[in-house]
Amino acid sequence: MPKGLLEQGWLASARKCISPHFNARPDNEVSLLVIHNISLPAGCFGLGHIDGLFQGCLDINADESFTELAGLQVSAHFLIRRDGEVVQYVSCDDRAWHAGVSEHNGRKGCNDFALGIELEGTDSSGYTDQQYQQLILLTLELMAQYPMLNVNNIVGHCDIAPGRKTDPGFSFDWHRYKQAIAGN
């Protein structure tokens, strides 16, 4: 992915799946990258339910576990599927609703200044080589576009919401990921 493929916060190579669950950033600041994981239903991959959740049109009758998600308004900036497909839901220039109650370096409300990348997976499922490749490329592009982002400002959801969130989980290879982005 050559540099400069982000226009008005949208990645040219990503499949667009626009979410209504966003609003303006209060200070137009992007200084944190948060890595998450998601699967719907839990542990199931390759289905369209994540798109439905982030677009506010999840069929809650599709799985009994979805009833607890009824009316939930959440989104992320990106999803990287198991096959490496990158989906974008919210412009990076806007605030997606991915972090919830959160704090980083004494600052509350991480959605205000963070980008959220969801990896299709679970804490224990491991992630595919295609996901790591796309995550590394996407991270490098985001760092090129948003100068306040750097290797020290990349965290897991577990780091900004400890005790409440555990993702991306123990199966995420932080060393592999951070070594690859630091080497570029």
Q: Pairing mode, if any, of strands 154-156 and 114-120?
A: unpaired
Q: Which of 138, 1, 29, 153 is nearest to 93 (CA)?
A: 29
Q: Pick the closest to residue 77 from 108, 114, 102 (CA basis).
A: 114
Q: Cite the active site residues.
A: 118
The phi-psi region of residue 46 (left if phi > 0; otherwise alpha if psi is between -120 and 50; otherwise beta) is: left
Q: Which DSSP letter does residue 183 get?
A: T
Tokens coding 1: 């992915």
- In degrees and rounded to multiples of 5, residue 135 shows phi and psi of -65, -45
